[in-house]
Amino acid sequence: MNKLVQQWLIGLVLLMSGQCFAGGGEDMTAVIHYDLNPKYVGLLEAELLHKKGDVYFFDVNTLEIWAEGFIPGAVFFNVRNWRELLPKNKDAEMVFYCANRLCTASVMAAREVMKLGYTQVMQMPEGIYGWRMSGRTHETP
């Protein structure tokens, strides 16, 4: 029994030794670093911004998800000429959203817009699914 435990421990050490050198001696850094990050807004803050009326909402979902419902007045943003949809005012408040927290399209779109010099760019991680599940109003095409 003692020999079995000893062999098991040796096997475990050998198995784990590869994990210890996984970095190859180099500094471990994130693969992607973003200098531009939009402000994240929750559902309540997004709803208040929507009621304010002078805030642009951009839906970055696929056409199929957009057809299921979108925030009233939101502009479908998943198009080739998306730059033409942006307001002229670079300080205009804008909220980008997609399906839910697992979707990264809205944060990627928000970063692209920030690269163009827009300053008041926000992203709503809960997306349209969170918006609809919380009972907030939505419309369909």
In this prediction, residue 40 carries a pLDDT of 96
Q: In this predicted model, what pLDDT tens digit does every residue of 67-122 receive, in sequence order? A: 999 999 999 999 999 999 999 999 999 999 999 999 999 999 999 999 999 999 99
The correct CATH number of 39-133 out of 3.20.80.10, 3.40.250.10, 3.65.10.10, 1.10.620.20 is 3.40.250.10
Of 13 and 100, the one with more pLDDT: 100
Of 69, 71, 27, the residue nearest 46 (C-alpha): 71
Burial pattern 43-74, b for ≥16 Cβ within 10 A else e, equals beebbebbeeeebbbbbbbeeebbeebbbeeb
Percent of the chain with pLDDT over 90: 72
pTM of the model: 0.76
Break the chain into its structural domains and give their ranges: 39-133
Q: What is the mean pLDDT of residues 31-47?
A: 84
